[in-house]
Amino acid sequence: MIYDDLKRRILSGELKADVRLVIHQLAVSYDSSDIPVREALKELAAEDLIEMSPHKGSRLRNFQSKNARYARDKKEP
């Protein structure tokens, strides 16, 4: 699932802070259409892992170490 993989990559630090997340590029990399990627990004934004802005796209939030630990602790088993 796209959501699970993106969340794993965010929490592991594989994706760096302030990186712009382009829906179409992610869709191509996941061999998917834009819609499942957009839905995954909405879920991640609801968890405060990314920021979504109209006309600006999505960006990975810049976590301070305390916030990153909190987000990792919230991770589902």
Q: What is the pLDDT along the chain (77 residues), one digit of tens a residue?
A: 999 999 999 988 898 887 889 999 999 999 999 999 999 999 999 998 999 988 888 988 776 544 555 566 665 55
H helix intervals, 1-77 = 2-12, 23-29, 34-46, 65-74
CB of 61 closer than 8 Å to CB of 11: no
CA distances from 74 to 10, 30, 48, 69 (A): 13, 25, 11, 9
Total domains present in the chain? 1
Output the six-digit token pair for 5. Answer: 């993989």
Say which CATH number the domain at 59 has: 1.10.10.10
The per-residue pLDDT for 44 is 94
How many CB atoms are located within 10 Å of the residue 43 CB? 15
Domain containing 48: what range?
2-74
The per-residue pLDDT for 66 is 45
The per-residue pLDDT for 75 is 58
